[in-house]
Amino acid sequence: MKASLVAILIIIVGTLCIYFWYWRNASAPPARGPDWEISVPPSPQTALSINDNDQATSACYQAYARFYSEPSVEIDVAFGYKDARPARFVGDRYEKFALVNYLLQPCAPDHYACGFTRDLEDGDLFSKLILGPDGRVRTVKLRVTHSSVGPDDDENRQDSFQKWQSKYAQTAFLEGLKGAEAVFYNGHSRDGGGPDFGPPRLRWDKHPNYHWYAKNAPGLKRLLDAIGGKQIQLKLLGLYSCVSSRLFSEEIISTKKALALITSQELLYYTDALNNLMGSLSAVLGLWCEPAFLSAIKAEKSGGTSRLQGFFNAVSPEKSP
Amino acid sequence: MRLFLLWLLVRPALGVEWTTHALRLTGESDKVHDEAVAALRMWPNLEGTLKTALIGDKKYLALDVIAALSLQSMMADLFAQSENDENGSIYLTINALLNSDNQTQIAQLYLDRLRHHKGMSMPSQVVLLDTLGRMGISLSDKDLTPYLESSSFEVRSAALYYLRYQVLKFGMSARLPLIKNFLIQEPYQIRLQALYLILDLPSKLKTQAQPLLANCKADRHREVQGLCRSLAGEAK
């Protein structure tokens, strides 16, 4: 008797569930395009659209006046070593290539992370001309580096070129922290031990040795050393890696109060990391004001887990520690 | 058991989506990953859901699920979708499903696609070259030439990576001379990549490669010149 009642209950609940499931799917909006291109907010306000009379008091205008204070501006995108340990796959090379493929495409209307020209002798250096907030032309130099030489971590560890590539990617990142206006890191947090550009230190079971990374924090130490200098140009640092808000924000801000930060408050799915990075790049190149910038880096699909702090109210570099 | 069955039935109405489990396949502990796999295996009409997702904005999550659950039954859909793969992600999922039963079919598909590559995205070309390289599948010189001479730095780099497998892993030393052209190409990173390949050669092949170094000893890039001269046995 009791078993029959449970069976009837299950059938009723199941029928209701199936009904709700069909109802919900039938009323779902049509699917959007699946690619990594950031969706442009409708008519984003930009620093270029701010009246002369309002520029002195506009946080948006002032943010970009600081950012584009020089005729030539450098932005670095650094892909860390994105292994999938304990599996052997490594993905940053493919992600970087997909991004580069997009950067080199002509721009559709209202798109900005595109239309770049590649340097002939340096394959990781791209440039394009944009208008600064004052309406004058700026040259944007964009450096995009990756960390792995192939898609197989086991193979990479036997490849001499991997040692060079890791050192090169890390050096580009650290030099960018000193000399670029913005640096965007897309890679592993290594539980506080990142940013990381080389094959990971592994445990016996082929998982990354998170205990070691958390205890020694090699990547964070190097980062803090780099931004701790007085002559750095850096105004914006984006860390598109898991839980970067909790793992990195506090120490970075306490080292460099004037630095604006983009971080992730939660685990970050790889396409969301790319979307947020593309959103940041689009916002900075398009001079988008805060609402559009926030929309771009939230990357709606991730449910708005990113955070932007200090960009639209950063203290002037002179007051920086 | 009854409670679990009840949970399975009510979860769609409670707002738990397959994507919730899919997101737990990466970046989580083994336990969470395994629970997500188990939940997805029990998901009603999962394959139908994934087929729909493959052409929508949940595409990448769907690809992760297909790979994690090793859903061989989705192979036909992946083959069809891969024709317009913009970033190589579908090909990478096919690779995740590769086994001894389908290896020949997949290799043949990739060979055909590389032979008729017009319109194929740059990242897809890279994935296919990488995969055939690792599988030890040999492209004819005629089929390989467009990639060795591609206008895309990334594709040429992948072609060089393919040659690395051919020469170092599969003993095809006859292809060693193909490295020569990379040593005079731009950008400097590809010249360095070629030199590091020579550095990793066994000593017998390294000796054979000496004539290839003639032009890079005076390279305009300091690192390229230094490594070239070092490989040639000269002081930096």
Return d(Cα B75, Cα A111) in angstroms, integer.
35
Q: Which residue has the tokens 């721009």?
A: A107
Chain A residues inside the 8 Å CB shell of B206: none
Strand-strand pairing, A306-309 and A125-131: unpaired
Let me know if residue B85 belongs to a domain.
yes
**A129 DSSP assignment:** E
**Mean pLDDT score, B2-23:** 66
Tell me the whole-structure pTM to 2 decimals.
0.88
**ipTM of predicted complex:** 0.91
Based on the domain organization, do B102 and B20 belong to the same domain? no
Residue among B30, B89, B151, B162 with most chain A CBs within 10 A, to mutate: B89
Domain of A234?
46-319
A320 or A132: which leads in pLDDT:
A132
What was the pLDDT predicted at A12? 53
Based on the domain organization, do B43 and B80 belong to the same domain? no
Based on the domain organization, do B158 and B83 belong to the same domain? yes
**A315 DSSP assignment:** P
Cβ proximity of B123 and B94 under 8 Å? no
Cβ proximity of B157 and B190 under 8 Å? yes
Let me know if residue A313 belongs to a domain.
yes
| Strand arrangement of the beta sheet that strand A137-145 belongs to | A117-118, A125-131, A137-145, A72-79, A182-186, A236-240, A260-264, A306-309
Quote the mean pLDDT of chain B: 91
Residue among B9, B26, B170, B199 with most chain A CBs within 10 A, to mutate: B9
DSSP A96-113: HHHHHHHHTSPPPTT--S
Return d(Cα A251, Cα A257) in angstroms, integer.
10
C-alpha torsion angle, residues A154, A156, A160, A165 (rounded to 10):
-150
Residue among A101, A148, A266 with most chain B CBs within 10 A, to mutate: A101
Let me know if residue B135 belongs to a domain.
yes
**A199 DSSP assignment:** P
Let me know if residue B214 belongs to a domain.
no
Return d(Cα B29, Cα A145) in angstroms, integer.
29
At CA A47, angle to CA A42 and CA A49, rounded to 5?
70
pLDDT-derived band at A108 (thresholds 50, 70, 90) equals: confident
SS3 of A74, please? strand
Based on the domain organization, do B57 and B83 belong to the same domain? no
pLDDT above 70 for A2: no
Let me know if residue A15 belongs to a domain.
no
Domain of B30?
1-69
**Mean pLDDT score, B67-72:** 94
Domain edge (last residue) among B131, B156, B171: B171
Let me know if residue A238 belongs to a domain.
yes
**A83 DSSP assignment:** B
Cβ proximity of A208 and A215 under 8 Å? no
Cβ proximity of A90 and A148 under 8 Å? yes
pLDDT above 50 for B87: yes
Are A242 and B27 within 8 A, CB to CB? yes
Are B2 and A6 within 8 A, CB to CB? yes
Return d(Cα B45, Cα A161) in angstroms, integer.
46
Chain B, window 96-125: residues with a beta carbon less than 8 angstroms from a chain A beta carbon: 121-123
Whether chain A has a CB inside 8 Å of the CB on B31: the answer is no
pLDDT-derived band at A44 (thresholds 50, 70, 90) equals: confident
C-alpha torsion angle, residues A44, A145, A91, A294 (rounded to 10):
-20
Question: Which of A10, A100, A120 is the closest to B187 by Cβ?
Answer: A120
Return d(Cα B6, Cα A134) in angstroms, integer.
63
Based on the domain organization, do B80 and B65 belong to the same domain? no
Whether chain A has a CB inside 8 Å of the CB on B10: the answer is yes
Let me know if residue B152 belongs to a domain.
yes
Distance between A156 CA and the closest CA of chain B, angstroms: 11
What was the pLDDT predicted at A189? 95
**A174 DSSP assignment:** H
Let me know if residue A30 belongs to a domain.
no
Q: How far is CA A70 from the centre of its chain?
A: 23
Based on the domain organization, do B62 and B16 belong to the same domain? yes
Are B189 and A123 within 8 A, CB to CB? yes
**Mean pLDDT score, A290-306:** 73
Q: Among A14-23, A219-228, B176-185, where is mean pLDDT lowest?
A: A14-23
What was the pLDDT predicted at B27? 76
Domain edge (last residue) among B148, B171, B194: B171
Domain edge (last residue) among B18, B48, B69: B69
Let me know if residue B235 belongs to a domain.
no
Let me know if residue A65 belongs to a domain.
yes
Distance between B78 CA and the closest CA of chain A, angstroms: 15
Question: Which of B58, B126, B200 is the closest to A97 by Cβ?
Answer: B126
Are B187 and A21 within 8 A, CB to CB? no
SS (H, E, C) chain B: CHHHHHHHHHCCCCCCCHHHHHHCCCCCCHHHHHHHHHHHHCCCCHHHHHHHHCCCCCHHHHHHHHHHCCCHHHHHHHHHHHCCCCCCHHHHHHHHCCCCCCHHHHHHHHHHHHHCCCCCCHHHHHHHHHHHHHHCCCCCHHHHHHHHCCCCHHHHHHHHHHHHHHHHHCCCHHHHHHHHHHHHCCCHHHHHHHHHHHHCCCHHHHHHCHHHHCCCCCCCCHHHHHHHHHHCCCCC
pLDDT above 90 for A300: no
Let me know if residue A13 belongs to a domain.
no
Nearest chain B residue to A266 by CA: give it.
Answer: B27
Query: How many structural domains comprise chain B?
Result: 2
Based on the domain organization, do B85 and B162 belong to the same domain? yes
Most distant CA pair in chain B: distance in Å? Answer: 76
The structure tokens listed for A224 are: 């803090």
Let me know if residue B228 belongs to a domain.
no
Let me know if residue B212 belongs to a domain.
no
Query: How many structural domains comprise chain A?
Result: 1
Based on the domain organization, do B105 and B147 belong to the same domain? yes
Question: Which of B12, B122, B187 is the closest to A97 by Cβ?
Answer: B122
Q: Which amino acid belongs to residue B173?
A: S
Let me know if residue A287 belongs to a domain.
yes
Nearest chain B residue to A168 by CA: give it.
Answer: B189
Q: Report which of A43, A42, A46 is spatially closest to residue A58, judged by C-alpha positions.
A: A46
Based on the domain organization, do B161 and B78 belong to the same domain? yes
Chain B residues inside the 8 Å CB shell of A269: 23, 26-27, 60-61
Name the percent of chain B lying above pLDDT 90: 80
pLDDT above 90 for B10: no
Based on the domain organization, do B48 and B89 belong to the same domain? no
Let me know if residue A33 belongs to a domain.
no
Based on the domain organization, do B92 and B164 belong to the same domain? yes
Cβ proximity of A241 and A187 under 8 Å? yes
Q: Which residues of A237-263 are buried (b: 16+ CB within 10 A; e: fewer)?
A: bbbbbbbbbebbbeebeeebebbbbbb
Cβ neighbourhood burial of A118 (10 Å; 0-12, 13-18, 19+) = buried
The structure tokens listed for B62 are: 């769907």
**A292 DSSP assignment:** H
Q: Please report which residue ranges of A85-195 form alpha helices under DSSP H.
A: 92-103, 153-156, 160-179
Are A16 and B197 within 8 A, CB to CB? no
Based on the domain organization, do B82 and B65 belong to the same domain? no
What was the pLDDT predicted at B16? 73
Let me know if residue B132 belongs to a domain.
yes
pLDDT above 80 for A303: no
Question: Which of B9, B10, B193 is the closest to A161 by Cβ?
Answer: B193
The structure tokens listed for B75 are: 């192979």
Alpha-carbon distances of B8 from A5, B5, B179, rounded to whole Å? 18, 5, 57
Cβ proximity of B129 and B155 under 8 Å? yes
Q: Report which of A167, A150, A147, A168 is spatially closest to residue A158, judged by C-alpha positions.
A: A150
What was the pLDDT predicted at B123? 94
Return d(Cα A33, Cα A37) in angstroms, integer.
9
